[in-house]
Structure 1
Amino acid sequence: MHSIYSRVNNVSATLSSCLMVLLAAIAISSLFMGANPEGTLDIAQLRVFTGQTRRWPHQRQEFGFVNFNVTADLTPLFHWNTKQLFLYLEAEYTNAKGVKNEVVIWDRIVRRKEDAVINVVGKNKYPFREISSKFKNSEPAHFSLKYNLMPYVGALTFGEAARTETALDFPEAKEAVS
C-alpha cells in the first residue's frame, strides 16, 4: 500500500514536470518569433563643454551634450510573450588611448504595445563624459538605438532598431558658463 504522502509526491512531481516542459516549449517558440523593428536616429547637435566633476572638484573634465531625434516603430516586437522593452541610445567611440567605449546616454521602458511607436526629440539623460577627461583625439562617435526584449518566459533578446549613418566628430570643448 502507498501512503498518502507518496501519492501527493507522485502527483506533484508529475505536475511540475509537465509545467517545466510547457515553459521550455514557450521559451523555444519565442525564439522563432523574430521581428525587425525599423527606426531613424538623427543627431541634431553634439557639443562638448569643460566643467568640474562632483567627485574630484579640482579636476576639469569634458562633458558631451547630445540633442537627438528618434523615430521608431517597435510594435512588431510585442507578442504574447513580451513583458516589456528596454530602449537605450548608445554612443560608441574609441578614445585617444585606443579604448573602445559604449556609453548609454538615454533610456526608456516600454510596457505596452500602444506605447511602442517612439517619437522623441530630446537630449542625453545621463552624463556623457570621457574617462580620460578629454574627448580630444577621439575617433568619431556612432550613435545607435538598441533594445532589450524581456519576455515572460525565456531568454532576453537584444537588438538594434536604428543607427546613425555617419559618425560624428567631437567638437572642440568650450568653457562652461557658471
Structure 2
Amino acid sequence: MHSIYARVNGISALWSTCVMVLLGAVALSSFLFNADPKGNLDIVSLKVFHSKTRRYPFRNEEIGFVKFNLSADFTPLFNWNTKQLFVYLEAEYTSPQGVNNTVVIWDRIVRRKEDATIDIVQKDKYKLRDLSGSFSNVHAAQYSLKYNVMPYVGVLTYGEAARTVEAIDFPDARDSVS
C-alpha cells in the first residue's frame, strides 16, 4: 500500500505534467497564426531646433520634432493567445562613425482588438535626440512602424507594418527656426 504522501505526490506530478504539456501546445500553436498587418506611414515634417540641456546648461543640443501621419490595422494579430501589442514608430539613421542608431519617437500599447485600428495625424510623442548632441553630421533617417505581439504563453513576436519609401533628410537647425 502507498501512503497518503506518495499518492498526493503522484497526482501532483501527473497534474503538473499535464499543465506543462498544455502550455507547450499553446505556445507552439501560436506559430500557426501568422498575420502580416500593413499600414501607411507619411512623414509630414522634420524640424531641428537648438536647445539647452538641464544637465549641462552651457552646452547646446539639437532636438528634432517629427510630424507624421500613420494608419494601420492590427486586428489580424489578435487571437486567443494575444495579451497585448506594443506598437512603435522608430527612426533609424547612421552616424558619421558608421554606428547605426535607432530612436523610438512614438509608441502605444494596444490591449483590446477594438483599439487595434490606429489612425494618427501629426502627433509626435518623444523628442528626437542624438548622443552627439547634433544632427549636423547625420544625413537622413529611415522611419518604420513596428509591432511586438505579447502572448499569454509563448515567445514574443516582432514585425514591421510600414516603412517610409525613401530616407528623410535632417534639416539644418538654422533652417528650422521660424
CA shift for structure 1 position 99: 1.3
8 Å CA contact retained: 2:48, 2:173: yes
8 Å CA contact retained: 2:44, 2:122: no
SS of the residue 1:137 aligns to: coil
| Number of residue pairs aligned between Structure 1 and Structure 2 | 177
Range with bigger deviation, 90-99 or 38-47: 90-99
CA shift for structure 1 position 111: 0.6
8 Å CA contact retained: 2:48, 2:176: no
Give a deviation string over 1:87-136, Cα, whole Å, max 9, x none: 00000001222211000011000011111111011332122111111111
Partner of 1:89: 89
User: Sequence identity of aligned pairs in percent?
Assistant: 62
CA shift for structure 1 position 32: 1.7
Distance 1:51 1:123 in 2: 21
TM-score of the aligned structures, taking structure 1 as reference length = 0.95
Distance 2:8 2:23 in 1: 22
Distance 1:123 1:111 in 2: 21
Unaligned runs of 5+ in 2: none
Distance 1:56 1:82 in 2: 44
Distance 2:164 2:175 in 1: 28
TM-score of the aligned structures, taking structure 2 as reference length = 0.95
**Aligned runs of 1:2-151 on 2, under 5 Å?**
2-151=2-151
Distance 1:121 1:79 in 2: 28
Unaligned runs of 5+ in 1: none
Question: Aligned partner of 1:21: which letter?
Answer: V
